[in-house]
Structure 1
Amino acid sequence: MDTVTHTLFGVILYRAIPKTGMDKPMTRALLLTSLVGSQIPDIDVVSQWWDSSGQYLMWHRGITHSIFLAPVWALLISLVCLLLFKTKDWRLFWIGLLAVFIHDTSDIFNAWGTGYLEPFTQQRLTFGTVPIVDLVFWVLILGGFVVTRWKRHLPTHRVFQGVWALIALHIAVQSIQGYAIYDSAKERYEQVALAADFVPWSYQVIGKAGDTVEISQATTAFGELKLLHRLPTATQADLTDLFAQNPAARTLQQWAPLVVIVDEPGRTGLYDPRFYRNGQSFLFEYIDKK
């Protein structure tokens, strides 16, 4: 998910917790825990400052997003709260753990994926059933704030617990339909990947068969695939020079579920077709031929 969504998740997590009997230091610690826990896995973005070997794709959303690291993040946040607010309460650990869990788990539903099971495997876990920026989340969260203003007699934490339930329902509906589309497409292609569109219940299906990659659109699990692009891929191309001169290309091939290989007179490269827009993918690594 994008940074704004993760921040909003932290805000509504805080709002969904009943605070009866909590003193001010505890509520402040709880707010800090919810916000930091919802953001801290993305601390790996700093790795691009020193990346000189083309490994950033594997580092970003890598080990910091591992579900096995979630308790470590939660413990660190609890210790920070102890230092800043003099609060010693196990609820801060559990809320921190929940916030990190929500961040890590929500990220596996979009096309970028995460190293959810690192260090035991470097394979990216990705479902591709929810877009990275999902405006439905924003609408549901905004609706929660509107309800708390309009229906002031309703307990705030109950309203936002309801928002969380609707968010979970939205993810479930998107993912069930996405899985049905993915499962159906597997019969047509050697390799298949899914990428949710910004419009709810709309997906792009990326399938490879032989020397061709097709990008099709599906609207709901009951609709037919509509072919958008048919892309040739040079599966027999020699990529030795590409990987030697541009290490990020090897990383991209390892990171992506499938790639399109370009072998033209002027350049050799590869790109991730899940991010193919307006005739190009923003994840494209290549070298110019001499």
Structure 2
Amino acid sequence: MDSITHTLFGLALYGTVNKTDMSRRQKAALLFTTVVGSQIPDMDVISQFWDTTGRYQMWHRGISHSLLMVPVWAAFIALFVRLVFKEKGWRWFNMSLLAVFIHDTSDTFNAWGTGYFEPLSSARLTLGTIPIVDVVFWMIMLGGYWTARIIKKRYHRSPHQIYRIVWALMIVHAAAQTGQGMALLHETKDQYDQSVLAADFIPGVFTVVGKKDGIVTLQKGSIWTGLAPIAELESKEDSDLEVLFEQNPKARTLVEWSPFVVIVDDGTKLGVFDPRFYRKGASFLYEYIDIN
């Protein structure tokens, strides 16, 4: 998910707690815990500043987003709360644990995926059933925020139950999206040797990207409308990519990172791109070299 959505997740998680008997300092510590916990795995973006080998694509959302690191990040946040806010107890660790887990798990639902099982596996876990920016999540949280304000202002009651309903609705939305996407993927599984999903910004709409015998096909639609082909791409599977990898190390990383790639070898360029991000005749995840 994008940084704004992760921040909103943190605020929504903060809202689920009944803070009636909490001091101002405890509320501040809780807000810090949920928001920072919802953002801290993305600290790996700083690795791009010392990346000299083209590995950033693997480092970002890599081990920092693994299940192994969830308790490590949580312990770090809990320690900070103890030192700065002078608050002790397991509450801060548990809330941090939940916030980080939500971040890492929610990122597995979009096409970018995460290194969810690193270091046991370097493969990216990606379902492709939720877009990077999901307006439905935003609408649910915005609706919950305004409802919580009304409850607090008119009835002078803690609105934490409203935010718990917000989370229930978001889980239902994610489950519905994933169920629809998996149904489309299952429907086309016999057509391809490899296939993946990429969710559209419109809820319920997906692109199924399949590869067979060097041909990559993109089909877009929903379980209600069916799928319609939108592009067919030829991948030059017999091309020697070693010279590409030597001159552009990011290309090797992209091949490792992507479920599968399209190989371009047209006499002027040698490159690879991820077809899940193919729009208007090009993919923004494209690494190549010019051939003299």
TM interval, short-chain normalised:
over 0.9
Please give the root-mean-square deviation of Cα atoms over the aligned residues, in Å: 1.0
- Detail structure 1 runs of 4+ shifted over 6 Å in the superposition: none
Residue 21 of structure 1 deviates from its aligned partner by 2.1
Deviations 1:8-59 (A, max 9, x none): 0000100111113222221111110001000000000001111111101100
Residue aligning to 2:108: 108
Distance 2:226 2:2 in 1: 30
Distance 2:89 2:127 in 1: 36
Residue aligning to 2:131: 131
DSSP-derived class of the 1:244 partner:
helix
Distance 2:192 2:57 in 1: 26
Deviations 1:88-130 (A, max 9, x none): 1210000000000000000000000000001111000000000
Deviations 1:56-79 (A, max 9, x none): 110000000001110111110011
Residue 238 of structure 1 deviates from its aligned partner by 1.0
1:188 to 175, 188, 191: 191
Residue aligning to 1:27: 27
Contact 2:137-2:170 within 8 A present in 1 as well: yes
Contact 1:193-1:258 within 8 A present in 2 as well: no
Residue aligning to 2:77: 77
Residue aligning to 1:218: 221
Residue aligning to 1:287: 289
AA partner of residue 277 (structure 1): R
Distance 1:147 1:24 in 2: 23
Residue 209 of structure 1 deviates from its aligned partner by 1.3
Distance 2:68 2:48 in 1: 23
Contact 1:235-1:261 within 8 A present in 2 as well: yes
Contact 1:14-1:30 within 8 A present in 2 as well: yes
AA partner of residue 210 (structure 2): G
Distance 2:260 2:218 in 1: 12
DSSP-derived class of the 1:18 partner:
coil
User: Which one is further off, 264-273 or 17-26?
Assistant: 17-26
Contact 2:151-2:158 within 8 A present in 1 as well: no
Percent sequence identity over matched residues?
Answer: 52
Contact 1:202-1:218 within 8 A present in 2 as well: yes
Distance 1:45 1:253 in 2: 20
Residue aligning to 1:149: 149
Alignment of 1:8-47 (within 5 A): 8-47=8-47
AA partner of residue 199 (structure 1): I
Residue aligning to 1:270: 272
After TM superposition, the score normalised by the length of structure 2 is 0.97
Residue aligning to 1:171: 174
Residue aligning to 1:3: 3
Distance 1:180 1:115 in 2: 24
DSSP-derived class of the 1:194 partner:
strand
